[in-house]
């Protein structure tokens, strides 16, 4: 794995390729936010620097597959999706990854996470909730499930 913080990344180019518009955070208005608008350039820059342009592009593509999800380009959600891909590299090889992600209502997950007021950072809770959607049981887990069903 490439050491943290060593990738050159043009966040504006990657965002443009994905149809995302980057804005400065001080311009953000919660009531005027639209799909494909991102006001967390520091987080986008961090993800690109730590993992590269291809990784950042995939994060944006997964989050903008539906117009509804494209309105969830918040720092906590970007970090959660990025971490999901880093921690589960086999997901990137999945032929259905984009379709599977489109089936997740990221906004609903984010609202529920914020409402729970957990004692951990929201992005970590979001990572867990999204990870559950992609969990693939291993053989031992299947045997446990069969035992519980009996």
pLDDT at residue 2, rounded to an integer: 45
* HEC secondary structure over 25-51: HHHCCCCCCCCCEECCHHHHHHHHHHH
d(CA 9, CA 29): 27
Tokens of 4: 């943290």
Placement of tokens 């914020």 in the chain: 114
pLDDT at residue 77, rounded to an integer: 97
pLDDT at residue 29, rounded to an integer: 72
Q: Which pTM was predicted? A: 0.85
- CA distances (Å), origin 43, targets 46, 99, 117, 123, 145: 5, 25, 22, 12, 39
d(CA 55, CA 61): 10
pLDDT at residue 1, rounded to an integer: 41
Q: What is the pLDDT along the chain (150 residues), one digit of tens a residue?
A: 445 568 899 999 999 999 999 998 777 776 777 999 999 999 999 999 999 999 999 999 999 999 999 999 999 999 999 999 999 999 999 999 999 999 999 999 999 999 999 999 999 999 999 999 988 766 555 556 566 655
């Amino acid at each position: 794995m490439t050491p943290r913080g060593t990738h050159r990344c043009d966040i504006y180019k990657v965002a443009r390729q994905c149809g995302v518009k980057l804005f400065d955070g001080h311009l953000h208005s919660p009531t005027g936010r639209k799909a494909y608008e991102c006001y967390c350039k520091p987080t986008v820059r961090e993800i690109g620097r730590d993992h590269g342009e291809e990784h950042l592009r995939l994060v944006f593509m997964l989050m903008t597959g539906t117009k509804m999800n494209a309105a969830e380009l918040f720092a906590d959600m970007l970090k959660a999706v990025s971490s999901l891909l880093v921690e589960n590299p086999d997901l990137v090889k999945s032929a259905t990854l984009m379709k599977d992600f489109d089936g997740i209502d990221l906004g609903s997950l984010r609202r529920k996470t914020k409402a729970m007021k957990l004692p951990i950072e929201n992005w970590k809770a979001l990572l867990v909730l999204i990870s559950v959607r992609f969990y693939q049981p291993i053989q031992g887990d299947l045997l446990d499930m069969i035992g519980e069903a009996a």
